[in-house]
Structure 1
């Protein structure tokens, strides 16, 4: 997988965190540096750890299903993309204004389940995992920080747009993986 495809996947999986960060920015009166750092570390960290875990799990049974790996990658990425498109249609909900671990941990874990599935796909595609998780974590960190600031400044206007972009990117990447395997 090339750097362009990896960057596109990083962008795609970071969009859910961006949307949640926008909502977190909406929830606070005044954004402080600790809010930005908290969102960036929680979301960026979980988005880096979960694909690594998915990669380890996927590597364990990669040999058994190697002839189907491209289809599994396609289905996983397409399902995540479709789910993000569905979430984009949901109304914005008011979030707890707290950035405490008891609030951020469940949000980060729920958000990064998609990244676990991406990690399984990475195992099937034999992606160099350490640079991949670093790029995903860094991208998500940056989008989470930006999301808190944007949410605090502009409101809920961009939440659904971010999820639509992320969903479309993941659908396209899943299709590209399938096309590359079947016709190249």
Structure 2
């Protein structure tokens, strides 16, 4: 393997982990909701799937629309994370309120979509490149799946340590990450 190809592979691995880190951060907060291991496994797989579909969609659409849609995708993702986090914080104070967003059903789709929006923008910038597109998509899916699992499992452990306060911490993480997306 020539040195330039090795450099491209290393770049793709780092890019995959960078894209998966938002899934890790948000999963840390979501994992504090006392989620069963089966749900954690399913959530990781769904996030991995979205981290494959979103950049592929971006690649297919091409760089023609990247300047117009890329900003709106990040904006909507940031707003969605702030809303989910705020709802978690408010539900921690109001025990009668049913949890609105959990990584189940439609909540799982929103969760996976929100953490995968930045990979759409990366897909737009990748463009159509021979076989590296497939490798990039596989790396994106693997890294995001693994990091989602790690975040949710760590969140589950933190919940055991912090009890009811962990939902406030988890919501704060989501709000903070959403605000970071909005203002960076």
**Is TM-score (shorter-chain normalized) higher than 0.5?**
yes
> What is residue 8 of structure 1 aligned with on the other side?
14
Offset of residue 99 of structure 1:
3.0
Residue ranges of structure 2 left out of the alignment (5+ in a row): 1-6, 79-84, 89-98, 159-165
Choose from 96, 115, 118 the match for 1:114: 118
Report the alpha carbon displacement of residue 136 of structure 1 after superposing the two structures with TM.
Answer: 0.5
1:103-159 Cα offsets, whole Å, 9 max, x none, are 100111122111111001110777711110100100000000111111111254895
Determine whether 1:20 maps to 2:20.
no
TM-score, normalization: structure 2?
0.63
Aligned length: 148
Q: Residues 10 and 139 of structure 1 are in contact (CA less than 8 Å); yes or no, is this contact kept in structure 2?
A: yes
Counterpart Cα distance in 2 of 1:103 and 1:4: 34
| 1:148 pairs with 2:162 | no
The answer to whether the 8 Å contact 1:24/1:97 transfers is no
Give distance in 2, aligned partners of 1:150 and 1:43. 17
Paired position in structure 2 for 1:45: 49
- What's the RMSD between the two structures over aligned residues? 3.9
| CA 124–150 in structure 1, closer or farther in 2 if over 3 Å, else same | same
- Distance in 2, Cα, partners of 1:32 & 1:106: 19
Q: Residues 1-184 of structure 1: matches in 2 within 5 Å?
A: 2-28=8-34, 31-58=35-62, 61=64, 93=86, 94=88, 96=100, 98-123=102-127, 128-154=132-158, 155=166, 156=169, 159=173
Q: Structure 1: where are the runs of 5+ without partners?
A: 63-68, 85-91, 172-184
**Deviations 1:3-58, CA, capped at 9 Å, x for gaps:** 11111111111111112211111111xx4321221221121110111111111111
Task: Decide whether aligned partners of structure 1 residues 97 and 116 sit closer, same or farther in structure 2, where only a CA change above 3 A counts.
Answer: closer
